[in-house]
Each structure stands twice: as C-alpha cells, then as structure tokens.
Structure 1
Amino acid sequence: MRVLFATIPEKSHLFCLTPLAWAARAAGHEVRVASTAEFVDVIARTGMTAVAVGSNDGISAAMSANRETQQWDSVNWSELDPPNPTYQEEFDRAQLGAYGCAMYNEPMIDDLVAFARDWRPDLVVWDPLTYAGPIAAGVAGAAHVRSLCFADVWVKKRQLFLKLAAEAPSDERARDPLGGWLTERTEQFGGTYSPESTTGQLTLDPLPDSLAIDTGVARAPVRFVPYNGPAVVPAWLRTPPERPRICLSLGASNTERYGGDYVSKSDILESLAELDAEVVAALLPSQVRELGALPANVRVVESVPLHALLPSCSVLIHHGGFGSYANALVHGVPQLTVTTPVADQIYRGAGLERQGAGLLLESASATAGQVRERTARILSDAAFQENSDRLREEALARPAPADVIPVLEKLVAERRTDPWTV
C-alpha cells in the first residue's frame, strides 16, 4: 500500500514519526513524508522520500517575535480537570490553539491535497497538530491515523471545551474555533467535518498507561523508538563515567523557533559544579557560543545523539520537550524538567513527579540553586532510579513500530473509502 506521512515542520515531531515510516517501508510499503519546502532536507536526512507541500518561511520570525507567549496561561494545556472551569477560559485557549494550528497548516493544505489526489495514498499518518492530514486522506479516500508525540492533552482539553460550550447559554456561545476552521476547509474539498478530523480514525500512543491520557478515542499502543537525527558516537562516550553523569539538554525548538532558551545555561552549569558528578551539556552550536567560563566538571558537546548518551547518565535536566522526555523514559533515566507551561510540558513533568521518576520546576521561577538541589536529591535517592526503571519497562513493553504495521494494514482494509469530490 501507499503510506503518506504528514507533519508540521518541527524536528521533534518528524523524529517521532520516523521509526514508524522506516517500519512501513521495511514491510514493503511505498512511503512519502510531506511537509513544507523549508523542511524537506531534514526529512531527506532521515532516509525517507520527502515531498514539499507549501512554504512557511516566516514561522520562526513570528515565534521569536513573541517569546512571551510560552508563558501565557492560554498556551498551558496541562490542567485537564480544573476545579472551576469556565467556558470563556477554555474558549480563549481553544481559539489560540486553533490559530497556532492554522499558522502551521494553512501553507500546507492545498499542496498536500493536490499531492494526495495525484499519488492516491491508501493511508495517511499525521502528526497530531497536522490537521491537513485528514483532509488529504479524505480527497484520496484513504484511512488516516494520528500518531502522538506528546500526551493527548489536545483531545482531552477539546472534550472539556465542547462540554462547557454545550452547557453555556446559546447567546454566550461562540463558534468552535478548531471545528469551524476545519469545517470550512473540509467542505472546500467536498468533505464533511467529523470528530475524526481531530482524533484520527485511530490514535497511536507511545506513552505507557501510567503516564498517558485516556480520552476514550480509538487508541493503539506503539513503542517510542529514539531517533535524534544524523550523528556519530564520539570515542569518549565508550568509556564508562567514573562519577554519576548528569546530562543537560535544552533541545532545539526554543533556540531555533523562539530565539533562545528560557533558563540560564551558564548559571545552571556553575551551580552543578558543587556536585560530585560529571556534567555533559549536550547543546546546539549557537547555545555553546552563549556560554562563559565552564566549571572543571563540565563537558560541552555538540550533535551527540541522546539515545547514545543517556544510557550512561544518572539524571537528565531538560526543557520539557517530548524528544528529551521520551528518550530518557525508554532509557530509564530520572528527569528534572525545567519548563515553560506551553502545551503539555507541565503535565508530563508532573506525571514523572507523581510516579517518583523525576521532579518539576517552572522556568519562570526556577533558580540555579533549585536546579542543583533537585538534581542532588535525584542522585541521592535510589527510588528515582527504581521508578524510572519501572516506567522504562512499561514503555518498552509496547509494540515496536514494525508490530504496529499489521494494525495499520487492517485499518486500511476496513476504512478505505471513496474519495471526496467537489
């Protein structure tokens, strides 16, 4: 069968999809991966065949000009059961979310639809913010699957919003931001909007049940398999550390999209000098250039794959991104999450804390001293490692991507339909 993967132009989202795309091709299926023109070189470096659909060359400038938005309450999707939810608060959140998704998707939709009409995929696998995916599936008559790269706060919060909207007086109720936008775009291509436009006909969930969110939608487990882009394992990493090794990784998205990190790398590294530990700061070249003098126990490295580094580490300090989080999860590494409240990052950090496998700090109020104190606590309490090992076993018990391919083949057999016509 023909399988079309569709993703917004974000590396962390693509990297979560990549092992499943490899598995589909290894099973003998024809695979294409579609995103905007600026992103096709990143796709090609995964070894997959890329398709350029639209252009979105202004997104980084727009995000870096609005760095403060990561601190807004309306971008925090982590509080799933607020004590006194209001329709207006959830509407504001839904409206901002729909605006952000449209900013990513609008440049892609028309070209992705045109490609789907021409290539006729049997299955579309879409990143959970790539709502262009189910539209492309409709015009091709393809089955479609949503593949998560975070906890499913988007569907859970949407369910809360729709519940509050149904309870609100009709004269106070505004148009559903996401549903309204998708209805208009779907109808332009001869389709009819349905809840599956936001949930997929099936959702693939890489999180173990103790950390995942059960939204009630059709869901199938899949194992997270780390992929961190092209990299070479350095020679020094083959020598086991003589002291506990701490990894500091702040990801790429804040630097590349928002113009910089939300914590002081130099202050954190200086504070960690007080610990009897080796610190490896895995950073981008631009992040390295921002550092001053380094303590003697700090090694700064560039382009080291996390999946090669983390097995030697006793704790990971990171910014809350799903790639760092999931890499540590499947390697059984305790985590200290120092994050902005954007998206699901508080939810995932708090989940690790509840499970006894990590600790959480919000970056706006976190100090270097707090980072050091919590890192020391993780290193000194064996329960953090024991609980991380337990979660690792849960994560690795999920079916590998190769084992999920028959599930997708069955879905295609059951859900393939006639293409939409205008």
Structure 2
Amino acid sequence: MRVMLAVSDWTTHWLNMVPLAWALQAAGHEVRVVCPPFQTVAAERAGLVPVEILRPGELVTKARMHNHVNARSGHWPYAELPPDLATGAPVRSLDDFDPFGWIEENKARLIDVAVHNADAAVEFGRWWRPHLVVHDLMSVEGPLTARVLGVPALLTLWGPVGPDDEVPGVPGLRFLAVDSARAFARYDVGEWGPEAIEHVIDPCPPGVELPLRARRLPIRQLPYNGPGGWPTWLREPRDKPRVCVVWGTSVSSVFGQGSFPVPRLVEAFADLDVEVLFTVTGADHERIGALPAGMRAMREVPLHLLLPTCDLVVHHGGGGSTMTALAAGVPQLALPPGGDQEIIGDRIARAGVARVRHNARADAAWIRQAAADLLHEPEYRTAADRLRAQMAERPTPAQVAAELAELAAAGSPAAR
C-alpha cells in the first residue's frame, strides 16, 4: 500500500502522524510526505521520505495579519503591538501598517501559491497513485488529491481542536484549511468544508474528545516531539518536585515579545521549593538570561523524554505540549496566547487536568498560586492519571495501520 502524508507549514501540526507513519512503514507500506521546503528536514529527521513540491502557505504571516486586524478592532491584550509581518519586530503604531491594504496587494500572489500547491499535489498523486491520504487540519491539498483519485482521506488531529471549531472572536472562521484556489470546483470533486471530512484519526482521550460528524478512528498517543537524546541526569534521584516549562518559539513570532512569559515564571517559581526546567529554543532561548539556583535552561531535549520525570508542565496550550503531557499523566498549567491554544486550554481545564489563564492576564502571583495548587491538590494528578489510562487503552499505531490497509482495500480504486 502507498500512503501519502500531506502536511502544512507548521511542523507541530503534523508530528502526530509520525508514529503512524513508522507503523505503516514497519508493516511494509510505502509512505511519502508531500510538503513545502522547510518541512523537509523535519521529515528526514523523523525517518520519512519528503516530497518537496509545495510552496510555503505563509501561516505565520497570516497569523500575524489576524493579530493586526484584532488590534485595530480593539481586541489585543498585550502591551506591545503585534509583530511586523515581515520582520517579526513590534510595530510602533497601528497607523504604520494597513492589514486590509496588505491583503488586497497580496491576494493574487497568495492565490497563485494555493493554485500551485493544489495542482502539484494532484499531479504527484496521479503519478504515484497512493491508496489513501493522511493530512493535517491545515492541509487542503491532501483531501483534494484523495477526492480526485477516489481514495480515502483521513484527517489527523494535532490535539483537542477540530474542523468545526471556530477561531475565538471571529465567528465563521475555522482552523480548517481554506480552499482559496477553488481547487475542489476546478477539479469538479464537490465542495470543501467540515462536512466533506469522512474519517478523523483522533488521539484525544474521552475526557477531552471533541464532537465529530465524521467517522472517528481512535489512536493511542505515542508522543513524538522530534529527535534527541535522553540526558542521564533525568534518571537521577531528586528531592523536590520538578516543573517543566515548554514554550513554543512560534508564540513570540506570532504574538510578539510581549507574550514571552519566562520572566514572570522565574518570579513565580522563585518562592516555591521546586526544580524548574526551561525548554525554550531559538531566539527565545537567548532571551532567558541568567537563572536562579534550581532553574535550568535546556535546548533540543524532546518533551516526551522530559515529562515522565516531571510533576507539572507549564506551556502555551499548543497541541503537541498538551497531548504529550496527557500521555505522560502530568498536570498542566496552560497560558494560551490566543487562537487554537485557547480552545485546547478550555478543554483540558474542563477535564480537570489543568489550570488555565490567558497569557496576557496571568501575572506572577496567579501563576505561583496555580502551580502550588496543581502540585499539591491531588485531584489534578488523579485526573491526569485517569486520562493517561484512557489513552493507553486506545488502539496502537500498528493496529490503526492495519485498519487503514483494510479501509484502502475496501474503498480505493487504486488498490484494486
């Protein structure tokens, strides 16, 4: 069987596919990752074969644009203004940039990119003839190619956010990819939208599952956060609780430096008798500076190796951090800056496994009290253990790979 993975610009949106891809390859199936150029290294480091035929969809630029529109409408919670679309530096005044003018000036170029990507994916699909397509929420090329070929398409969730969820504050705008190239109409394969999704591979346990109109294929969350070694000191005995802080570099890039919480976290944890590990990469790592005793800044240690040794994780509400923490059975303190992180934060809070507050409203005093509650009130650990057990009961990637082979054989003209 040949399986095409279609992935979008954001690496953490498709890393959940990697263990399933390993299982497919181990079962003797061929897997190819159709991607833009800057996903090639991530795919290769995961032991997969990239097919570099897509152009960047500029998701970071579009997210910054969304923030500028929010700021102009008075819905911007940070002291610093949103980042410049090109440089990522804060703008000095909202009058310095016209987001609506930028959209008008760049509309044709962005549509050209979308048309190229749709046609390139379909052309590759017609040549390689995959028996099924697996894609993330922000990929429209994957379901398009599957529809053109008449093979099954399966959406893989990156966390507890789905095709029917709307962007907070923007009614009608979903996280599901938009068919701006009108490719579904051009190829005469129906319409694209949440109702067009037939199969969803879902790693979320029942406590945080979202409602789906599509067929749900449960899968066990086997976290993959990228390659890396396991430091020996993680296995050494410790005499105080360990807190892991993981902060996505994309947060500062999209929401600006005012969203960077490490100074507040250092202040909050200074009065608690805990060990703190900061896992922050890129430019954010350089901004941490000197840390007090008992706090350590780290690079490139995969989160799934750290969290089983921790008593609490602090993060931005991203799907990768959330799902890795759920699989490890660790209580969570989420400080979502906006977007899908707010939806994810709300769902894990309602499941009883997390304390959550918007990043812009979480001061050091609130963080300190929330962390103390999560560390010392047993109900959070009980909820985390329950969700971890529920995840362990779900089908393994190997079992789902076998189910996908049956699905392809039953529903794919290419497989017959």
TM-score range, shorter chain: 0.7 to 0.9
Distance apart, 1:59 and its partner CA: 4.8
Distance of 1:102 and 1:204 partners within structure 2:
29
- Of the three residues 384, 400, 422, the one matched with 2:380 is 384
Taking structure 1 as the reference length, what is the TM-score of the superposition?
0.81
Residue in structure 2 matched with residue 375 of structure 1 by the alignment: 371
Does 2:147 correspond to 1:138? yes
C-alpha contact 1:56 1:107 (8 A) present in aligned 2: no
Distance of 2:311 and 2:38 partners within structure 1:
37
- Of the three residues 197, 201, 204, the one matched with 2:201 is 204
Residue in structure 1 matched with residue 324 of structure 2 by the alignment: 327
Residue deviations 1:22-76, cap 9 Å, x none? 111111111101111222122111110000122228554564576556889999x
SS in 2 for 1:232: coil
Does 2:226 correspond to 1:217? no
Distance of 1:21 and 1:58 partners within structure 2:
26
- Of the three residues 137, 142, 154, the one matched with 1:128 is 137
Residue in structure 2 matched with residue 287 of structure 1 by the alignment: 284
Residue identity matched to 1:184:
R
Q: How does 1:19-418 map to 2 (within 5 A)?
A: 19-56=19-56, 59-60=59-60, 63-64=63-64, 67-68=67-68, 108-157=117-166, 181=179, 184-193=182-191, 199-255=196-252, 260=257, 262-343=259-340, 345-417=341-413
Q: Does the C-alpha gap of structure 1 residues 64 and 121 become closer, same or farther in structure 2, counting only changes over 3 Å?
A: same
Q: Does the C-alpha gap of structure 1 residues 365 and 102 become closer, same or farther in structure 2, counting only changes over 3 Å?
A: farther
Deviates more, 1:62-71 or 1:381-390: 62-71
Q: Does the C-alpha gap of structure 1 residues 374 and 130 become closer, same or farther in structure 2, counting only changes over 3 Å?
A: same
SS in 2 for 1:220: strand
Q: Which structure 2 segments of 5+ residues have no match?
A: 76-106
Q: Does the C-alpha gap of structure 1 residues 275 and 199 become closer, same or farther in structure 2, counting only changes over 3 Å?
A: farther
Distance apart, 1:128 and its partner CA: 1.6
C-alpha contact 1:336 1:374 (8 A) present in aligned 2: yes
Q: Does the C-alpha gap of structure 1 residues 353 and 53 become closer, same or farther in structure 2, counting only changes over 3 Å?
A: same
Q: Does the C-alpha gap of structure 1 residues 351 and 54 become closer, same or farther in structure 2, counting only changes over 3 Å?
A: closer
Question: How many percent identity over aligned positions?
Answer: 31
Distance apart, 1:416 and its partner CA: 1.4
Distance of 2:140 and 2:196 partners within structure 1:
10
Distance of 1:297 and 1:315 partners within structure 2:
15
Distance apart, 1:410 and its partner CA: 2.0
Distance apart, 1:294 and its partner CA: 1.4
Distance apart, 1:341 and its partner CA: 2.8
Distance apart, 1:415 and its partner CA: 2.0
> Aligned-residue CA RMSD in angstroms?
3.4
Residue identity matched to 2:130:
P
Residue identity matched to 2:132:
L
Q: Does the C-alpha gap of structure 1 residues 179 and 226 become closer, same or farther in structure 2, counting only changes over 3 Å?
A: closer
Distance apart, 1:365 and its partner CA: 1.2
Deviates more, 1:107-116 or 1:249-258: 249-258
Distance of 1:134 and 1:308 partners within structure 2:
33
Distance of 2:293 and 2:112 partners within structure 1:
45
Distance of 2:356 and 2:322 partners within structure 1:
12
Taking structure 2 as the reference length, what is the TM-score of the superposition?
0.82
C-alpha contact 1:8 1:105 (8 A) present in aligned 2: no
Distance of 2:365 and 2:114 partners within structure 1:
41
Distance of 2:229 and 2:70 partners within structure 1:
33
C-alpha contact 2:353 2:383 (8 A) present in aligned 1: yes
Distance apart, 1:289 and its partner CA: 0.9
Distance apart, 1:108 and its partner CA: 2.4
SS in 2 for 1:279: strand
After the TM superposition, which segments of 4 or more aligned residues of structure 1 sit over 6 Å from their partners?
69-75, 101-104, 176-180
Residue in structure 2 matched with residue 91 of structure 1 by the alignment: none
Distance of 1:70 and 1:303 partners within structure 2:
33
Distance of 2:120 and 2:207 partners within structure 1:
39
Distance of 2:178 and 2:366 partners within structure 1:
44
Residue deviations 1:383-411, cap 9 Å, x none? 11111101110111111111101221222
Distance apart, 1:190 and its partner CA: 3.6
Q: Does the C-alpha gap of structure 1 residues 71 and 49 become closer, same or farther in structure 2, counting only changes over 3 Å?
A: farther
SS in 2 for 1:389: helix
Residue identity matched to 1:185:
A
Residue in structure 2 matched with residue 83 of structure 1 by the alignment: none
Q: Does the C-alpha gap of structure 1 residues 289 and 182 become closer, same or farther in structure 2, counting only changes over 3 Å?
A: closer
Deviates more, 1:135-144 or 1:277-286: 135-144
Residue identity matched to 1:47:
G
Residue identity matched to 2:251:
N
Residue identity matched to 1:316:
V
Deviates more, 1:102-111 or 1:295-304: 102-111
